[in-house]
Structure formats: structure tokens, C-alpha cells
Homo-oligomer: A and B are copies of this chain.
Amino acid sequence: MRLTLHTDYALRVLVHVGLAPGRLVTISEIAECFGISKNHLTKVVHQLGRAGYLETVRGKFGGVRLSMAPEAVRLGELVRDTEEDFRLARCHENGNGGGDAAPCRLEAACMARHALNEGLDAFFTTLNRYTLADMLAMARREAPVF
């Protein structure tokens, strides 16, 4: 149980872009800073654009910038938007078994579904107490020369 690299990269992109207000940031710059694949990063930036977090300016001096105030970017919502798979137990798909397991009268995972869903709600509610603005404040404290 861990967040995907995709979410990890999305967080990095938003902090990096958020720390450079007033200028456009290129994917190459972010890729170089974090030493990660430009290809993967392009997908992350595209998805953040579609989800309304970033806007892209095309052209020679183009790049991306935040399209929301950092205070409005809630961490729980962001993680929900970037993670694709929240099926904590396999029966989530159809309510009774599923996946490659043969059906059985005792679908234990389904018995836990209610508890797991409640747990996930608590996870996101807690995350939503934090915003990108909090992350930027922390980044500025830890990297004051930026």
C-alpha cells in the first residue's frame, strides 16, 4: 500500500512550479531538477493540466504555471486525482468477489470493505487539511536560497 510514482511526481511538479510564481516553468527544467524521465513527467504535467491544476503556454518561451491559488489545492483531492487505483480490496469492483479469484461464499475482503472505505475517507479528510500553500511554505523554509 503506497502512493504511485505518478502522485510523487505530481507533488514535485506542483511544488516546483508553485515556487516560481510569475514565470513559466518548462518540463525540461523540472526533469533536470529531479533527475527523472522527461517522458513520464510530460504525462504527469498533462494530467495536472486536464485536472485544472496547471495551465500550459505554448511556444518558444512557453511552459507551465499554476492555474489555481496554492491555498485552493487540497492534498487529499490532489491525491484522489492522481492515484488511479483505490480498490483496497478486490470486491470493490462489483461488491462480491471479482478479479481472478474464484467465487466463494466467504468473500473476506468484502467483509472488510466498509471498514476499508471508512479508513480511506479518514485518510483523505486528514490530507485535505493541508494545501499546496503549506507545502510551498515548508519548501521555502528548507530551501531559502531558491
Q: A24 at interface (Cβ–Cβ under 8 A)?
A: no
Q: Which residues does chain B contribute within 8 Å of A61, judged by CB atoms?
A: none
Chain A interface (Cβ within 8 Å of chain B)?
1-4, 7-8, 11-16, 19, 33-36, 75-76, 79, 83, 85-90, 101-109, 111-112, 114-116, 118-127, 129-130, 134-136, 138-139, 142-143, 145-146
Is A2 a contact partner of B87 (Cβ separation < 8 A)? yes
Number of copies of this kind of chain in the complex: 2
Known: A2-B87, A2-B88. 9 other contacts (CB 8 A): A1-B79, A14-B108, A106-B139, A111-B134, A114-B130, A115-B130, A119-B123, A122-B123, A122-B125
Q: Which residues does chain B contribute within 8 Å of A79, judged by CB atoms?
A: 1
